[in-house]
């Protein structure tokens, strides 16, 4: 039946009004697709809300970019920030993880590291848990990229970018101050002196080696073979470092007094000049945002006459 013209117009107007008042359709968020660190890709339909961290550096990154409340578990060694200690641990102390506990937490993202064992990686993949191996950065630029990557995957892009800009500014200031130094002290960074006659140190290509160089120093270990290497007491005396930093003070409890009492070490310039100092190894051994803290502290220690410019 043909409607009267006037009624047809009224119905058309009503239809247009209802259409205008209808809520707009919510756009479907685009999937997040990133390299998974294992040669493949990780795809998340939405930012992760339940994250398990399998490395202290990953835990620090998560909290730093604002995803601390989305972190539901950590591994045994995560001790920073303080809030991380309240999270349940899924193990890792002996290199293995409690997979049953991990599954029970229903994570939508597991953050591993290149140090996570291949067996653990395979076990997590077999459980079909979304897994990302956060790359090991070789420099601070790659660290910043990791921060932005985790920020993206957890929905904290803006916070990550703000953090990166802040860290870049602190890095630039530290480098500016270090460039004013008139000397480049020779630094021996001690990692483990269980054998005092053959202490372990950090070789070339490590964060410690990188940061000592950026801070305006020379790393004794740079000439050794391997990232972690032993150096004989005789060779160390020949090298005669200006400064000895005790990274093994944090977990090994080594003190400057103990170093000064080692037979033969009294011949080393750093011991003679009382330039043996403890150092927070976490600042230079974990590839997280505190690497910049480590750089700043190294500039202060290597060049105490310039430390005031970094306060």
What local confidence, expressed as pLDDT, does residue 6 receive? 52
Q: Is 9 or 245 the better-scoring residue by pLDDT? A: 245
| pLDDT band at residue 26 using 50, 70 and 90 as cut-offs | very low
Mean pLDDT of the chain: 91
Between CA 62 and CA 56 the distance in angstroms is 10
Q: What is the pLDDT of residues 92-148, one digit of tens each?
A: 987 789 999 999 999 999 999 999 999 999 999 999 999 999 999 999 999 999 999
Task: Give the global pTM.
Answer: 0.88
> Is a pLDDT exceeding 60 seen at residue 3?
no
Q: What angle, rounded to 10 degrees, do the helices at 157-178 and 207-214 form? A: 50
The separation between CA 45 and the C-alpha centre of its own chain, rounded to angstroms, equals 25
- We find that the CATH architecture of domain 177-310 is 3-Layer(aba) Sandwich (3.40)
Q: What is the pLDDT of residues 172-223, one digit of tens each?
A: 999 999 999 999 999 999 999 999 999 999 999 999 999 999 999 999 999 9
Q: Is 282 or 27 the better-scoring residue by pLDDT? A: 282
- Please determine whether the domains at 32-155 and 177-310 fall in the same fold group of CATH: yes
Position of tokens 């003190």?
255
121: tokens are 């990686």
- Domain-by-domain residue ranges, the chain? 32-155, 177-310
Pairing relation of β-strands 276-278 and 228-230?
unpaired
Between CA 201 and CA 238 the distance in angstroms is 16
Torsions phi, psi for 131 (to 5 deg): -125, 135
32-155: CATH topology: Rossmann fold (3.40.50)
Percent of the chain with pLDDT over 70: 91
300: tokens are 């202060």
Write the CA distances from 31 to 42, 62, 248, 292, integer angstroms.
Answer: 10, 20, 44, 32
What local confidence, expressed as pLDDT, does residue 141 receive? 97
């Amino acid at each position: 039946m043909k409607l009267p013209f006037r009624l047809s117009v009224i119905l058309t107007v009503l239809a247009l009004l209802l259409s205008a008042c209808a809520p707009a359709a919510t756009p479907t968020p685009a999937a997040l697709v990133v390299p998974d660190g294992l040669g493949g890709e990780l795809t998340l339909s939405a930012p992760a809300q339940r994250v398990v961290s399998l490395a202290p550096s990953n835990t620090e990154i998560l909290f730093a970019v604002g995803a601390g409340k989305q972190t539901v578990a950590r591994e045994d060694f995560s001790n920073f920030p303080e809030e991380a200690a309240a999270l349940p641990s899924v193990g890792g102390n002996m290199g293995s993880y409690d997979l049953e506990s991990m599954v029970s937490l229903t994570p939508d993202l597991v953050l591993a590291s290149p140090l996570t064992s291949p067996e653990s990686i395979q076990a997590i993949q077999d459980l079909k848990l979304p897994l990302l191996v956060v790359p090991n950065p070789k420099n601070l630029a790659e660290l910043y990229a990791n921060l932005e990557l985790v920020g993206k995957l957890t929905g904290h892009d803006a916070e990550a970018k703000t953090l990166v800009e802040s860290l870049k500014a602190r890095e630039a200031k530290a480098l500016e101050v270090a460039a004013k130094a008139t000397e480049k002290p020779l630094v021996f960074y001690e990692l483990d002196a269980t054998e005092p006659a053959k202490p372990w140190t950090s070789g070339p290509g490590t964060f410690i080696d990188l940061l000592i160089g950026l801070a305006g120093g020379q790393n004794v270990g740079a000439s050794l073979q391997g990232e972690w290497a032993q150096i004989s007491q005789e060779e160390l005396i020949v090298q005669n470092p200006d400064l000895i930093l005790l990274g093994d003070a944090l977990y090994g409890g080594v003190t400057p007094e103990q170093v000064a009492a080692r037979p033969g070490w009294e011949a080393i310039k750093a011991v003679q000049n009382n330039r043996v100092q403890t150092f927070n190894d976490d600042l230079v051994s974990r590839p997280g945002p505190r690497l910049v803290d480590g750089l700043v502290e190294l500039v202060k220690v290597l060049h105490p006459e310039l430390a005031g410019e970094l306060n």
